[in-house]
Amino acid sequence: MAIAYCQQVDDDTEFAIWKIEEEADELLSQLRLDEQEKAHYESLKVGKRNLHWLGTRVLLRKMLRTEDYIDCKVDSHGKPYLVDLPYHISLSHSFDYAAVMIGRRPVGIDIEQVKQKVERIAHKFMRNEELAFINDKDKIRQLYVCWCAKEAIYKCYGQKEVSFADNILLEPFQFEGHGWVNARLLKDDIDIKYEAGYLQYDGYMIGYVKG
């Protein structure tokens, strides 16, 4: 297992992806877990779920460059956080990859394997005006950019009851393999502007954002 790609977003923010090629026991040997984490790990089904859980946490240790125990908890909204370290984190995984983003401000990252099925569910997370700027030539990849960007924004915001279609709005963009999408989160009296980055990598799409 090794870092496949790493990007420094700014002086205080970076993300990395890791190809998971080890068995669970090998990943587990690289971690230090408390009793609650051990119990959670044991509750996961054998297969991709436990490999994803282990993979994101091994990558987190590598990015923090520490062999010490990392107290990583999850808040009431499901957002992971570090108890004793001054960093915000976001975790994601898809099939063979784990992804972690770390920053001094809130961050969000999402990684997805690119598949044709996204076209069937596009109406569930896209507004009509967003669907209108999708280019036929790059349709599938562009739709994945939209999904990953919205998911990253949702994670960065860090609270439940946010609709991808109704509350996260994307401005038109051209797909370029690695670029940026301007977005806004609108909900009640909340109006937050974001610049979401995206990257196509090895049949996957990555969306990332910082607050």
At residue 1, the pLDDT reads 59
Eight-state DSSP code of residue 117? T
Write the single-letter amino acid at 33: L
Architecture of domain 2-108: Alpha-Beta Complex (3.90)
pLDDT band at 48 (very low <50, low <70, confident <90, very high): confident
The structural domains of the chain, with segments of one domain joined by +, span 2-108, 111-210
The radius of gyration computed from the CA coordinates of the chain, to the nearest angstrom, equals 17
Q: Which residues, in sequence order, are CB contacts of 97 under 8 Å at separation 6+?
A: 4, 17, 18, 19, 20, 111, 202, 204
**Given its phi and psi angles, is residue 159 left (phi above 0), alpha (psi -120 to 50 degrees) or beta?**
beta
Average pLDDT over residues 129-150: 97
| pLDDT(193) > 80 | yes
| pLDDT higher at 49 or 174 | 174
At residue 41, the pLDDT reads 87
Q: Do residues 200 and 97 touch, judged by C-beta distance below 8 A?
A: no
Eight-state DSSP code of residue 45? P
What's the whole-number average pLDDT of the chain? 95
Q: pLDDT exceeding 70 applies to what percent of the chain?
A: 100
pLDDT in tens, 55-72: 999 999 999 999 899 999
Pairing of strands 72-74, 80-82: antiparallel
Average pLDDT over residues 193-206: 98
CA atoms within 13 A on the CB side of 211: 19
CA–CA distance, 140 with 122 (Å, rounded to integer): 10
The rounded Cα 198 to chain-centroid distance in angstroms is: 11
Stated as kind and residue range, the H or E segment containing 41 is: helix 35-43
CATH of 111-210, one of 3.90.470.20, 3.30.2130.10, 3.40.50.300, 3.40.1830.10: 3.90.470.20
Average pLDDT over residues 45-54: 85
| pLDDT(42) > 90 | no
Q: Answer yes or no: same fold for 2-108 and 111-210.
A: yes
At residue 107, the pLDDT reads 98
